[in-house]
Structure 1
């Protein structure tokens, strides 16, 4: 009886000790994580003057965290992403969400990754003025028209929103910037292609101005049923929102028969004169799910297992994915082969947007190419420390990937 009681007591003591050690270790690990930075929203009141409204007529907005020390005259602008709307129905639905109205947006945004103010995890840009431009127009900040049939009114004013936000922050210090980087993720990454050269015109002629697209290098490719699903989708976006007038003039002139194709980065890239960096996955999951294998191209869901887990892909499906990777590499030739000022980081991770998350931007287990993280590659390029052009070997070679394949809402039919 005494022995059993002693045994129970010892078991309890061991269990308690283990619980204590686990708890302390968990606290120790989490206490070393960077403190989250929440940045307040600023509404652009002067947007009323130019009619630069979100889809629903609300004021556009941005979040600004001030730079300090050696970075107080340097500026990083980050376009928010979030897909597109290509017809009245989808735009009306979007106007009732945070993607089309600041009324539904969070008033504070967490700044992580390239927007972090922590020198340990973001050593090159942590003390810059960092701005997040909220996305509420549905056409990567390029539209310029208003739809009004008497009962329904939608503002397609992305171009005006871009100009209104710039006008609002120029007197806050952007107008005297010494260094500047225009960046963006997904649809925001696409926006950098359309506003990169224009951005330089607002800044001092002696400023160092460069641009970065993260997961915004959307390809004009055929899907698995050999249709140009993405081409027709982008054409409908551009037509609906009146975007052609705001696309690169040299590109639309050269492609006068199909000016809407200049919405695709691969066609406008060679006309951009500002130094440019392309950050993308060769197996970008958004493009995989919506350009290569949209629902319309796979009505019976034969690709579903492969979409959920690359390890479950058949040899034929892997070959198709490798073909898509080669198309991306070929489209990036203006940067990789012909630009001395450009940079590129194309890894083999099944991911989408890698600069805004601390896990993928800069961490002990972040993705790497030749032992270089994304943050290091971008910093090396911007500050001209090293040549920064890296393309990973084909899947499944890369063991540094954080292959978190999200369930992405299908934007393409």
Structure 2
């Protein structure tokens, strides 16, 4: 009886909004192996599923994990030694458990718009933003490039357990998962009836080409190698590749205008990952620059100037992309030195209280307003032209109290 009471008690606490983060078991989709939908090392793909409850039983949130890309054989082989290339390593390192926080959390107080939805997190182990589909296994290194098959197998599993009958469906992802969300958005929408509200949220997934900004050649060369390694030339949208080279079609500025499904962009104009990794190649990054990107207080004005130029490039690229889109987009573009938001209380549901709010809204409130058509949230921070640290100094209970008071008053 005690064993039964424990999960019931936890469910009651979650429903009441007392538990701030909940743990969810990680599962392997063993049925995917027969169709070749496997990680780089050949292990089955993994997911974590938290069922919906209450009036959220007909609503589904599918989240694509991020984690960069591998751009050559050696780099992909390195990934098989960690969770980004092997579900076996994932299960070992995380003890078979994933923590759902922020906009994935079942906390009704801190995540009121999405707390009782089905949440299905797909772990990233292919290094290609869930896009590769190479039939042959690398005979020398035993590497398997099958990200698109993983995505398709997971969608079939979701339909099997009931997602096809959704009233509301949201596809989202962070970083490489945000790019994957953009790439798969229309395909995701096609899974549903016309009566289903289907939208997508790309979190820190707008990786700019920046043709006239430092490092453009490096960014092009890097993604050319990603495309070549994973055989993506014929996997990218033909609406884009009919106009641009495949390399340019992995940059969202050339993808987003072709997407028909409503798409929301959560972005920083000082995206920490892009500034740290996509401005200079590893061989060109000076020790001074490395110190600067790791701690803004070490930056001199020439380095800050590079960051300000990145912001200028990012904002103007994004504005141009949205203007050329076939449908209106929602967006929240801030100036915090940050990358990734949705999975964390400080990054999404309580972002306003660590200095990251626009129009007096948290990121999660902005997404909720946009998803439920309460407003067309389109806000950019045009005032701050310097990168800001937005980590906050409050302890977690104090932060959550401020957040609760704001959300419910």
Describe how 1:31-46 pairs up with structure 2 within 5 A.
Answer: 34-46=19-31
The alignment of Structure 1 onto Structure 2 pairs a total of residues equal to 370
Q: 1:397 to 1:121 in 2, by over 3 A?
A: farther
Q: 1:223 to 1:301 in 2, by over 3 A?
A: farther
- 2:34 corresponds to 1:49: yes
Shift of 1:42: 2.3
Shift of 1:147: 5.0
Deviations 1:312-354 (A, max 9, x none): 4323322221221121112222664456531011100001101
Alpha-carbon contact 2:308-2:385 (below 8 Å) kept: no
Alpha-carbon contact 1:192-1:212 (below 8 Å) kept: yes
Secondary structure at the counterpart of residue 287 of structure 2: coil
Q: What is aligned with 1:291?
A: 278
Shift of 1:395: 3.8
Alpha-carbon contact 1:335-1:342 (below 8 Å) kept: no
Q: What is aligned with 1:3?
A: none
Q: What is aligned with 1:143?
A: 132
- 2:141 corresponds to 1:155: no
Match for residue 330 of structure 1 among 310, 313, 316: 316
Q: What is aligned with 2:307?
A: 321
Q: What is aligned with 2:58?
A: 73
Secondary structure at the counterpart of residue 364 of structure 2: helix
Secondary structure at the counterpart of residue 64 of structure 1: strand
Distance (Å, rounded) in 1 between the aligned partners of 2:370 and 2:290: 38
Secondary structure at the counterpart of residue 239 of structure 2: helix
Deviations 1:174-228 (A, max 9, x none): 1111111100011111101110000011111211101111111111136976552
Q: What is aligned with 1:26?
A: none
Secondary structure at the counterpart of residue 283 of structure 2: helix
Alpha-carbon contact 1:280-1:346 (below 8 Å) kept: yes
Alpha-carbon contact 1:147-1:153 (below 8 Å) kept: no
Q: Rg: which structure is higher?
A: 1
- 2:88 corresponds to 1:94: no
Deviations 1:240-290 (A, max 9, x none): 1111222111001111xx122211111111000000001011111110111
Secondary structure at the counterpart of residue 402 of structure 1: coil
Alpha-carbon contact 1:183-1:211 (below 8 Å) kept: yes
Shift of 1:388: 0.4
Distance (Å, rounded) in 2 between the aligned partners of 1:140 and 1:251: 17
Q: 1:225 to 1:123 in 2, by over 3 A?
A: closer
> How does the TM-score come out when normalised to structure 2?
0.85
Q: Which runs of 5+ in 2 are unaligned?
A: 1-16, 394-409
Deviations 1:33-61 (A, max 9, x none): 73431111222122123211111111112
Alpha-carbon contact 1:220-1:228 (below 8 Å) kept: no
Alpha-carbon contact 2:170-2:201 (below 8 Å) kept: yes
187-196 or 146-155, larger mean C-alpha shift? 146-155
Q: Which runs of 5+ in 1 are unaligned?
A: 1-31, 405-413
- 2:200 corresponds to 1:211: yes
